[in-house]
Amino acid sequence: MEKLINNLRTGQQELAKWEGGKMAVSAVPGAGKSHSLAVAAAITINKNNLNNNRQLLIVTYTRSATASIKNSIKKILEELNLPPIGFTVQTIHGLAVNIANRHPLLSQLHLEISTLIDATPSHRIIRTTVTEWAKNHEEYYHLLLKGKNTETEESERLRRDSVLLTEVLPNFAHNVIRQIKSSGLTEYDLDTLQDDPTNPYPLMAIARGLYHEYQELMQKENLIDYDDLILGALRVLENDNARKIWQEEIFGVFEDEAQDSSPLQGKLLEILATDSDNSEVNFIRVGDPNQAINSTFTASDPLYFKLFCDQCQEIGQFFAMNQAGRSSKIIIDTANTTLKWINQQIREKFEDKSFNKLDSILPFREQEINIVDREDKQLDANPQAEGKGVEIYEPENIYQTVELISKRIIQLFNNQKAKETYNLAILVRENRQGSFLYKHLEFLKNNYNIKIQLINDINNYAHIPRQILSILQFIDCPHSREYLKNALETLQNKILIEAQDLNALSIYPEKFLYPSAIEPPQSKQTKKARNYCLKLLKSRLELPHYRLIPFISSLLEYQASELATAQKLSDKIHKQIIGNSSLKTMISTLQEIINSEKFEGVETDNQNIYTEKGQVTIMTMHKAKGLQWDYVFLPFLHENVIPGSADPYVPKSAKFLGNYNLPDITRTILRSLTHQKNSGHKNSPLTSISLASHESHQLKQGEEYRLLYVAMTRAKKLLWMSSAKKAPWRWNYFEDNGNVFQLQDSKPCSVIMMLKSVQK
């Protein structure tokens, strides 16, 4: 054990020497927190003679991380000649299921007869919630429908109706329901937060109504969501006897990636970490608030990990794991410079004393990454940089960007030894950027034997049944506005058609699909969308219904695992409808499969697919979290993307509501209420739409900066960054036809300009 501890760095050693109580560890990127967490776990198990009856609980947030930590602990226990017992590694939701299953009456969850769903904005339950709310709250709905203008033509009213029911309100419902449930807010809490009378819309009243409709529907259909699992587990632990049973079984809790925790998740773990005899809390939380990149679109909130760090600092139990051996020194220096500079820019922007929430919107905690000591045991720690180590370019346009990238890749993989030794990633902000790069770099495979791998953001295949259902429903009922729009959305998401106002296209399906001579000529983008729809309708006439799913899979350009999943889905449907096979029964069966949430895709990939040697991996910055490559390329770093435009982005289709992103604003107001309730803040929660819009925008920009920081710190030997002088205004509306004249002048991300000036 002494040898294990001595091989650890400062910060890591404090974790391994933990004797009990609360401890917070803030770990910089590449600090080796997972390894040191595994060492600390093995030492704790040995010191305290933990066994199957009294265990150490390690909690993380992905199944892949769970498997990795479990294997690491087992390996270290084996080195210590100890049996692989005395610990359990679980995801937070897996833990909640175990607690709820053992005490079904206390949890009020009956998992054997309930269906667990992930209620995304496109999920049927959210859409039904919105429809029921609009029906039962006509006054509020018509207020939204009216928007800023009182007089509207029939076509505009229909368009607004479509925007509200299929875009604004589903996103609104999804945001507020998750925020309410994950924060532990009660209906009483919601009632106490009244709407500001100066607001144009009663957002809290709308939120309460949607939440109430959602809960009623979930109960009626015997459905539960992931937040219900946490709430159910907490109900169990409110019972003295049940709580004592669990606390006696658990010696302590180690939480990994604590910055991604929600208030209720933190509460659940702290209860389990409490000793039933002396009330001591044996709780270690390890994370990095500077790598919090999910809080503006999930229920996670890094504020609570920051507060935990502050509490531990007061009792001398806060430690920084700030040495990292992943990257070369120049990349580390660049990341540190970026962090400090961004925080300074925010301070200068809000130096006006009237703004009293500066600390809450600073993107980063001041924490430098340091290189490791010379005697460090990590092999090739802080490796020698490739070339300059950090290369920054400003090509003329996005096509020249591709040329520069391809030439540099060819240089880096110029021989077989390099292909067997090194790997490379191109990290982008949007999926469409990744598809663009993949299309223009595919030639490297044939011409230079360099493998190109495009990784989609979707890491499971739940989208496939829904996409196929949207197409089949349109084929079956093409005159439906809803089904036409859903089909167009699927085509747009698959980047088969350009982004455009789908509400305008779907208002009158007949006019869109079969325009008469007196109709205005359709645009090129509209014609392309129409042609795809006509292909689908033609397939209904030319193919038997049981061949439609393979045809749709081909038309949507599914790849590898997606095709296998679609075939598995097709086989499952046709087995269930033998003797009563038709398009109608296919659709009905597919709808049942989606509602049951029990269909699993065919997984053919593993974690190595992201970091294979000799491979160019193209993926989004979000999906790159936790990974590393020898060479990392970050193209298309423009100001309108990172940190985003100066004003909050509001979709053009929703402009009739004003310059407000209502889902984001309401979520920010609810989060403010949560902070006041759970953090001891004395400030009153936000109620003003204008102030909430401002704060929401600042938080979103801060998260974009953290995303850039995470992407930069994935690189080991080379960090390549670029910002093209001409780029698409919005990638969603970009048609890749080689025409540079459709590109617009684009300002580079301010970080690019700062780093260029530093290099000079």
Cβ atoms of 185 and 670 closer than 8 Å: yes
For the chain, how many residues are written? 760
Cβ atoms of 59 and 90 closer than 8 Å: yes
Beta bridge partners of 618: 426, 454
Number of helices and strands in the chain (H, E) = 34, 16
Alpha-carbon distance of 667 to 384, in angstroms, equals 45
pLDDT tens for residues 252-289? 999 999 998 888 999 999 999 999 888 899 999 999 99
Closest among 156, 166, 169, 131 to 504, alpha carbons compared:
156
Beta bridge partners of 453: 617
Alpha-carbon distance of 126 to 120, in angstroms, equals 7
The secondary structure of 456-494 as a DSSP string is -S--SSTHHHHHHHHHHHHHH-TT-HHHHHHHHHHHHHT
| pLDDT at residue 600, as a whole number | 66
Residues of the chain with pLDDT > 70: what percent? 95
pLDDT tens for residues 719-738? 999 999 999 988 877 888 88
Q: Left (φ > 0), alpha (ψ -120 to 50) or beta: where does 355 sit?
A: beta
| pLDDT at residue 730, as a whole number | 84
Cβ atoms of 55 and 87 closer than 8 Å: yes
| pLDDT at residue 130, as a whole number | 96
Cβ atoms of 324 and 63 closer than 8 Å: no
| pLDDT at residue 514, as a whole number | 93
pTM (predicted TM-score):
0.87
Angle between helices 583-596 and 463-476 (to 10 degrees): 150
Angle 641-645-646 from CA coordinates, rounded to 5°:
150
Most confident residue range from 458-467, 565-574, 596-605 = 565-574
Cβ atoms of 10 and 324 closer than 8 Å: no
Other CB atoms within 10 Å distance of the CB of residue 233: 29
| pLDDT at residue 603, as a whole number | 53
Give SS3 for 392.
Answer: strand
Written as six digits, the tokens of 206 are 């709308």
Cβ atoms of 91 and 201 closer than 8 Å: no
Give SS3 for 414.
Answer: coil
Closest among 383, 406, 409 to 329, alpha carbons compared:
383
- Radius of gyration of the chain from its Cα atoms, rounded to whole angstroms: 27
Give SS3 for 106.
Answer: helix
- Phi then psi for residue 519, to 5 deg, are -75, 150
| pLDDT at residue 356, as a whole number | 52
Give SS3 for 501.
Answer: coil
**36 has a pLDDT exceeding 50:** yes
pLDDT tens for residues 39-91? 999 999 999 999 999 999 999 987 778 888 999 999 999 998 999 999 999 99
- The dihedral built from the CA positions of residue 567, 569, 570 and 572, taken in this order, carries a sign that is positive
Mean pLDDT of 205-233: 94
Mean pLDDT of 591-610: 68
Residues of the chain with pLDDT > 90: what percent? 62
Closest among 734, 740, 659, 625 to 295, alpha carbons compared:
625
Closest among 159, 115, 5, 32 to 597, alpha carbons compared:
115
Most confident residue range from 39-43, 109-113, 117-121, 194-198 = 39-43
Alpha-carbon distance of 271 to 265, in angstroms, equals 10
Instruction: Band the pLDDT of 128: cuts 50, 70, 90.
Output: very high
pLDDT tens for residues 670-720? 888 888 777 655 566 777 888 888 888 888 999 999 999 999 999 999 999
| pLDDT at residue 682, as a whole number | 56
Amino acid at 641: V
Mean pLDDT of the chain: 89
Residue indicated by tokens 């299309």: 439
Mean pLDDT of 590-602: 73
Instruction: Band the pLDDT of 359: cuts 50, 70, 90.
Output: low
* C-alpha dihedral, 724 to 725 to 729 to 731, nearest 10°: -10
Amino acid at 233: A
Cα→Cα distances 522→480, 481, 513, Å: 20, 18, 11
What are the respective helix, strand and coil percentages of the chain, to the nearest 5?
A: 55, 10, 35
Alpha-carbon distance of 382 to 546, in angstroms, equals 57
| pLDDT at residue 162, as a whole number | 92
The secondary structure of 250-312 as a DSSP string is EEEEEESSGGG--HHHHHHHHHHTB-TTT--B-EEEEE-GGG--STTTSS--THHHHHHHHHH
Range name among 13-22, 142-151, 280-289 with the lowest pLDDT average: 142-151
Cβ atoms of 346 and 339 closer than 8 Å: no
